[in-house]
């Protein structure tokens, strides 16, 4: 955390007056699905993966608050934001079991990290999640005060897909990497298996603004597909997979 704070101070001082908007960590909630993605951390087979992941996230939250503190000391006009993968989570059916399961998935997906960054505290549902998964965070003196006092100014997000969830998968899993859920009968899927859902962007923006009521920035958006390069005579020359 101290290294990140020092690194942040160097950047803030170097680009003071030139850069106004800053993001502390990219897609920080991606750590919940792939610790290497956001935390740069490989979990050993003999470790409690969730314990290690959420302990690492706690350190990132504190580091983000330290960076925010540094920015406000150096130049109070700087705006500091968080950045999350955002995806609305739909219940597969009106069965209350599916609705509850989708609710729990969406809270961890979209609100766990967001609440710490924006509201300055762990959400109430985190306590139950930690208890159910044998997670005991090591919290140092002053950590919670930093989270409380140095929250972000805006919320930024990447949006590529929505998710549909069912308590019992029944072999109906959707494709795609990182996170998938089950197939939504109302949506087509991209070549990567992700649900193609433009309306989902509007839905998640409304949900996020209702919850946080701070400026929202869309900083990534796109569609994973296979691009075909076509020669002038109409022949297909090659096919390449792209993500964004």
Active site residues per annotation = 27, 220
**Alpha helices for the chain (secondary structure H):** 2-14, 35-38, 49-74, 96-106, 112-114, 124-132, 143-149, 198-212
Q: How would you classify the pairing of strands 79-85 and 154-159?
A: parallel
Sort 187 into a burial class: Cβ within 10 Å, 0-12 / 13-18 / 19+: middle
Supply the DSSP symbol for 75.
Answer: -
CA quadruple 232, 234, 239, 240: dihedral sign:
positive
Cα distance between the two ends of the chain: 31
């Amino acid at each position: 955390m101290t290294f990140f704070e020092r690194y942040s101070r160097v950047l803030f001082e170097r680009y003071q007056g030139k850069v106004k908007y800053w993001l502390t960590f990219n897609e920080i909630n991606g750590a919940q699905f792939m610790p290497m993605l956001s935390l740069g951390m490989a979990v050993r087979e003999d470790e409690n993966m969730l314990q290690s992941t959420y302990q690492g996230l706690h350190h990132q939250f504190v580091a983000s608050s330290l960076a925010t503190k540094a920015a406000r000391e150096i130049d109070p006009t700087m705006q500091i934001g968080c950045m999350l993968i955002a995806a609305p989570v739909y219940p597969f059916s009106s069965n209350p079991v599916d609705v509850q399961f989708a609710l729990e998935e969406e809270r961890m997906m979209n609100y766990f990290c967001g609440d710490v960054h924006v509201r300055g505290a762990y959400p109430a549902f985190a306590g139950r999640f930690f208890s159910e998964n044998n997670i005991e965070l090591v919290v140092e003196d002053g950590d919670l005060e930093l989270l409380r006092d140095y929250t972000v100014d805006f919320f930024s997000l990447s949006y590529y897909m929505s998710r549909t969830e069912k308590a019992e998968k029944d072999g109906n899993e959707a494709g795609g990497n990182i996170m998938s859920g089950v197939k939504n009968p109302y949506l087509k899927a991209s070549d990567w298996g992700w649900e193609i859902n433009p309306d989902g962007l509007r839905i998640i923006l409304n949900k996020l603004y209702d919850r946080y009521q701070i400026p929202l920035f869309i900083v990534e958006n796109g569609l994973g597909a296979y691009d075909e390069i076509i020669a002038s005579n109409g022949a297909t020359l090659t096919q390449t997979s792209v993500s964004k």
